[in-house]
Amino acid sequence: MRKTQVHSVLLVFSFLFLQLNIPIDVLAQKSAVIEWQKNYGGSGNDNSLGICNGINGGYIICGFTGSTNDEITGNHGSADGWVISIDATGKLQWQKCLGGTDADDIQSIIKAGSGYIAAGFTQSTDGDVAHNNGSADGWVVHLSSTGSIIWEKNYGGSNFDLIQCIRPTNDGGYIFCGETGSIDGDLSGIHTAARTVDAWVVKLDASGNIAWQKSLGGSNQDAGSYIQQTSDSGYIMVGSTQSADGDVSGYHDSTDIWVVKLDVHGSMKWQKCLGGNRMEGSFSIRQTSDGGYIVGGTTRSSDGDVTYNHGLEDYWVVKLDADGTLNWQKTYGGSGGEQLFDIIQTYDGGYIMTGLTTSHDGDVTGLHRSSIMYSDEWVVRTDAKGKLLWQKCLGGSSQEAGYEILQVTDSVYVTTGNGCSKDGDMDSCYGPNDYWVVQLKETDTTTGIINVSTSNEIVVYPTITNGVVNVRLPDGMSEVSMKVTDINGKIITTSIGGTGKERTLYIPQGTAAGMLVLQIRTQGSVVVSRKIVYRP
């Protein structure tokens, strides 16, 4: 069937529904409000990267600090890993600097029995660090419930090695992924000795001893950024690749998102490159309730696996089946830049994600400062198919970003990231960059239901128009607001004439022909949506 025939069929179908006054939908309007927000740090650079639930409630947050004052004590020198415990209202309970006199960082943290496992990298050979294989090592620290070190271990070789993510396994041990440039020490199976970096996956027992390790990749740059155990006791990892050989097949160009499925022993079952002819990256993957996977990343492409790009770079969400087949994909953003750092499946089967945006158009509203040099944290909530339900810009006139998000209850979420504003949503800042934690509550603004199938329905006519649309309201409904948008949500008109039950909308000249949507918001905050065919 040709495109013109399809378009004609759709017009006739819509016309029949509208002439019969059958409502197309009644939309429950959702949004989110800040319950509380807190920043933590000192006069140096402090950056939060991970969050988990606390043993006794509240949250544990990890990252790194360059500060030695205000809320930070015990810094060993240069940059330390910094772990803090806060209660459910954001009040600081305890803090712990981890490291030595060189650079150290904690990228990921999880609950582990009555304490916590923190992981990142270290370049130190003193302080809390007993040993280093060379350059930088992957570093795992077992902490008590109050932040005391129970044990710490290094992993790697003579070159740079780091851990991006650590997660628990069902045998009481741990799995971590990251990247390695070493060919010695704890490493084997590296794909090239000439340069570079492989993705690195290591299985640990409960005491931190290596059970097995795998170097994954090809002859170019490869890295792992997130891993978790799957329902079949294997593992799913996401990262990036610039290789087209070795373990990698299906590479597109530049940098691809790389998804790898491993069995329980670390053998590769399948792998998938996702992307187009420009740069993609991902820091987040989760197994979903249907046995598949949701990948959260960033794309600059508009070809290959990517069907649309709003601007410089977009949030990119990809739903995969259990075998890695692409089920659907969506981009979110505006004409500026977006970077997505974390996505989780919500209790209702939808998704929520966080990262940053510099856009003030497209899918993005509420940006606090319109400049490509400054970003807001951007939280996006969708349904199970990726339809955008609400979005929220968080920040002020400076630079904010979100790195991880947790669901607390059916309607409450907490994010961690960094910020440095003293206005907008963030009312203070210790230094050039602070840890920033925000608790959000999802709200449903629908407070009533209109039965539009009764004799007291809203009547819209004509439904095929050259510019004038009449609206007849039912008895008792007079306080309403109306707008006409195109099918992408862009507002066409809010020009309204008339009072009482009879209203008139005027579609401005120059509006493109096609399907428009009339939204009528009632005094009960219910939105009734009707479609109109506009033919100038």
pLDDT of 300-340, one tens digit each?
999 999 999 999 999 999 999 999 999 999 999 999 999 99
CB 495 within 8 A of CB 467: no
Per-residue confidence band for 511, with pLDDT thresholds at 50, 70 and 90 = confident
CA distance 120 to 166: 9
Tokens of 120: 């990142």
Residues 6+ apart with CB under 8 A from 273: 241, 248, 249, 250, 251, 252, 256, 257, 258
For domain 3-29+448-534, the CATH class is mainly beta
pLDDT higher than 80, residue 458 = no
Tokens 């794909």, residue located: 191
Check for a shared fold between 3-29+448-534 and 30-444: no
CB 232 within 8 A of CB 210: no
pLDDT higher than 80, residue 228 = yes
Is the sign of the CA dihedral 103, 109, 112, 116 positive or negative?
positive
What pLDDT score does 341 carry? 98
Question: Exposed/middle/buried for 395, CB within 10 Å: 0-12, 13-18, 19+?
Answer: buried
Position with higher pLDDT, 505 vs 5:
505
Mean pLDDT of 405-428: 94
Is the sign of the CA dihedral 237, 164, 203, 142 positive or negative?
negative
213-217, 254-258, 407-411, 456-460: lowest mean pLDDT where?
A: 456-460
Mean of all residue pLDDT scores within the chain: 87
Distances (CA, A) of 469 to 174, 212, 475: 63, 69, 20
Distances (CA, A) of 530 to 297, 462, 472, 483, 487: 34, 12, 13, 11, 11
Position with higher pLDDT, 487 vs 342:
342
Mean pLDDT of 360-381: 89
Tokens of 302: 């508009």
Closest by alpha carbon to 430, among 35, 60, 67? 67
Position with higher pLDDT, 194 vs 64:
64
CA distance 427 to 529: 38
Tokens of 336: 């500026």
CA distance 296 to 284: 5
Task: Tell whether omega for the bond before 462 is within 30 degrees of 0, i.e. cis.
Answer: yes
30-444: CATH topology is Methylamine Dehydrogenase; Chain H (2.130.10)
Pairing of strands 464-465, 527-534: parallel
Per-residue confidence band for 445, with pLDDT thresholds at 50, 70 and 90 = low
- Element (DSSP H or E) covering residue 154: strand 149-155
Mean pLDDT of 387-409: 96
Domain extents for the chain?
3-29+448-534, 30-444
What pLDDT score does 404 carry? 98
What pLDDT score does 43 carry? 95
**For residue range 74-133, what is the model confidence (pLDDT) as tens digits?**
999 889 999 999 999 999 999 999 999 999 999 999 999 999 999 999 999 999 999 999
Q: What 3-state DSSP class applies to 148?
A: coil
Per-residue confidence band for 533, with pLDDT thresholds at 50, 70 and 90 = confident
What pLDDT score does 148 carry? 97
**For residue range 27-81, what is the model confidence (pLDDT) as tens digits?**
446 789 999 999 999 999 999 999 999 998 899 999 999 999 999 999 998 899 9
pLDDT higher than 70, residue 222 = yes
Residues 6+ apart with CB under 8 A from 316: 257, 280, 296, 297, 298, 299, 306, 329, 330, 331, 340
Tokens 């199938």, residue located: 453
CB 31 within 8 A of CB 445: yes
What pLDDT score does 448 carry? 38
110-124, 238-252, 449-463: lowest mean pLDDT where?
A: 449-463
Per-residue confidence band for 487, with pLDDT thresholds at 50, 70 and 90 = low
Tokens of 18: 């509208």
Question: Exposed/middle/buried for 195, CB within 10 Å: 0-12, 13-18, 19+?
Answer: exposed
Closest by alpha carbon to 66, among 521, 432, 507? 432
CA distance 16 to 349: 34
pLDDT higher than 70, residue 389 = yes
Mean pLDDT of 211-216: 96
What pLDDT score does 517 carry? 82
Q: Fill in the DSSP letter of residue 511.
A: P
Mean pLDDT of 135-155: 97
What pLDDT score does 31 carry? 87
What pLDDT score does 2 carry? 38
DSSP conformation letters of 8-69 = HHHHHHHHHHHHTT---EEEPPEEEEEEEEEEE--SSBEEEEEEEE-BTBSEEEEEEE---S
CB 418 within 8 A of CB 436: yes
Query: In angstroms, what is the C-alpha Rg of the chain?
Result: 26
What pLDDT score does 5 carry? 37
Q: Fill in the DSSP letter of residue 2.
A: -
pLDDT higher than 80, residue 388 = yes
